[in-house]
Amino acid sequence: MIILNAFFAALGQIGDPKFRSVLFRGIGLTILLLILACAGAIWFINSLSGNEISLPFVGTVSWLNDVLNYSGIFLVLVLPVFLMVPVASAITSIFLEDVAQAVEDKHYPTLPKAPRIPVSEAIMDGLGFLGVLIVANILALILYAIFPPFAPFIFWAMNGFLLGREYFTLAAMRRLGRDGARKLRAKHVTTIWAAGTLMAIPLSVPLVNLVIPILGAATFTHIYHKLSGT
C-alpha cells in the first residue's frame, strides 16, 4: 500500500505548476539524451561499414554493409529500451532536488527546507551509479542468453533493485545524510526493491517511459517520508 499510495500521490501532483515545470524539463532532457545516444550508435555502425569489407580467410565481401545497416535500424528500435535505465538515473541525479522540494512543499509543508546536495557530489554519485548499471546490464546478457524466456523478468528485477536503491538513497540523503540513508534503506530493502521494480517495468514502454524518471523521483520522496515516519 505504501508504494501505490506514494505513486498516486506523485501522479496527483502533475497539475502543480512547480512540479509540472520539472516534469516537462525532465521529459525534454530524456528525449535529448535518447536522441544523442541513438545518433552515436548509428554513427558508430556507419563508421564500421563501407562499400566493401575485407575479412581474413574470406576476402572482400560487400553484403556485410547491408547487415550493418539493418542492424543499425534494429538497434535504434531496441536501444532506447535498455538506455532508459541509465537515462532515468541521470535525470534523477539532475532533477531530484527540485522534484523532492516540490513534493515536500505540497505534502509536507511543516518540514524545514533540506540542504541541497553539492553539485559535485551529485555528479560523482551519478557517474558511479551509471558505471554500476552498465556493468550489471552487461553481465546480465549472460543470463538473458541462458534463460531467454525469463529475460524481461531478469531485466526488471535487476534494474528495479538498482534503481530503487539509487532513487531511495538520493531522496533520503537530503535529510539523513549518506550513512542514515544507507541504514534506512537496509531496513526496508524489500519495499524499496519492489518499488524500483514497479518503476523499471514502465521504463520498457515507449512514450510512457518519458515521464517515469520524474514520477519515480516523486514517488520515492513519498516512500522515504512514509518509511522514516516524517
- Give domain limits for the chain: 2-228
pLDDT of the residue at 123: 73
Can you tell me the distance from the alpha carbon of 111 to that of 115, in angstroms, rounded to the nearest whole number? 12
Which of 78-89 are b and which e, b meaning 16 or more Cβ less than 10 Å from the residue's Cβ?
Answer: ebbeebbbbbbb
C-alpha cell at 62: 560487400
pLDDT digits (tens, 9 = 90+) for 165-211: 989 998 999 899 889 999 999 999 999 999 999 999 998 888 888 88
User: Using DSSP, how many helices (H) and how many strands (E) does the chain show?
Assistant: 7, 2
Which amino acid is residue 51, in one-letter code? N
pLDDT digits (tens, 9 = 90+) for 1-28: 899 999 999 999 988 888 888 888 888 8
pLDDT of the residue at 13: 92
With a CB cutoff of 8 Å and minimum separation 6, the contacts of 165 are 185, 192, 193, 196
Can you tell me the distance from the alpha carbon of 169 to that of 221, in angstroms, rounded to the nearest whole number? 10
Lowest mean pLDDT among 22-31, 50-59, 90-99, 106-115: 50-59
Nearest C-alpha neighbor of 219 from the set 161, 167, 173, 183: 167
pLDDT digits (tens, 9 = 90+) for 45-64: 666 655 555 545 554 545 55
Nearest C-alpha neighbor of 39 from the set 68, 72, 67: 72
pTM of the predicted protein model: 0.81
